Amino acid sequence: MESLSPQQQMSRMLTGYWVSQALYVAAKLGLADSLKDGPRTADDLSPATQTHPKALYRLLRALASVGVFAEDDHHRFSLTPLAECLRSDVPGSQRSLAIMTGEEHYRAFGQLLYSVRTGKIAFEKLFGVPVFDFLQNHAEQAKVFDEAMVGVHGRESAAMLDAYDFSGVRVLADLGGGNGSLLSAVLRKYPAMRGVLFDLPGVAERAKANIQVAGLAERCQVVGGNFFEAVPGGADAYLLRHIIHDWDDIKAKTILQNVHRAMGKDSRLLVVESVIPPGNAPSFAKLLDLTMLVIPGGQERTEDEYRTLYEGSGFRLTRIVPTTAEVSVIEGQKAS
């Protein structure tokens, strides 16, 4: 982008949704899965994907121009490393993320002006309910959300485990633990550790099968509940990954105060989030913050904002451990 004029750079930015929506359609149609056994033409792919052959060709050609798929002299398309990310059967698959961001998230971002003008949540304006209530009542979208989070968080889990030492933690409580992928990764690395996965009852039920498949049922208790009301006691460390950023300061403080009540005096608080850096440098967190604005109504935070949030909830921020991913481990202990 640096070699482009400001006008060209702005044009690329303004039309960014052209590519994101093309990726959504490719993901929804399962095109990467259809090409995993070798090159095929749009005419070959059209019947199975229930698409118009020429229109499908135009979609594939456009994505090939940005490195997603590759077209040969016989108009056959094949996978590239980028296209591999859209396969549903690869580690770190981004297919569900492309579907999720292309549907409800895309519609919510279309109402960004509403959120900026009012400070209110665009998702709720569109769908009539908060996003997590929506997912509880829409099983298909909840499944896509779970799969998308695995794709997003897979690299973060490895980076977190490389950066943060969980030695000495006998019992780890993963609050809002979702499908259990993070807690499973930690328990596999620390075989003497026991885990507690805590989430809403419906989510917890879905997670039980994953914990069972991972062979961790004897070491991991799955508990349903609501962290706005109470969280399980007895853990040495309480882990919240991408939980606090979903909520405004008042609700985030409620969660943290419930954790504070459940914790022993030597327990650790481990919040895993992106931390917004100062200055004008590019930052994934600064754009993710807009997603928090329009969809759950939360926010990304700076180090100072986390320190203030911790202090207001009875904690002392002890250190921030960066990782090679976009997140850091924001460690805290009881201040009183």
Q: What angle do CA 322, 323, 329 make, to 5 degrees?
A: 55
Residue with tokens 């499944």: 143
Q: How many Cα atoms are found within 13 Å in the side-chain-facing hemisphere of 157?
A: 20
| Residues in a beta bridge with 197 | 174, 222
- R_g (Cα) of the chain, nearest Å: 22
Amino acid residing at 171: V
Q: Beta-carbon neighbour count of residue 302 at 10 Å?
A: 13
DSSP string, 222-261: EEE--TTT------SEEEEESSGGGS-HHHHHHHHHHHHH
Judged on CB neighbours under 10 Å (0-12, 13-18, 19+), 31 is: buried
3-state secondary structure 65-109: CCCCCEECCCCEEECCHHHHCCCCCCCCCCHHHHHHHHCHHHHHH
Q: Would residue 242 show up in a list of annotated catalytic residues for this protein?
A: no
Q: Pick the catalytic residue: 105, 242, 245, 260?
A: 245
Dist. CA 234–CA 173, nearest whole Å = 9
The catalytic site residues sit at 245
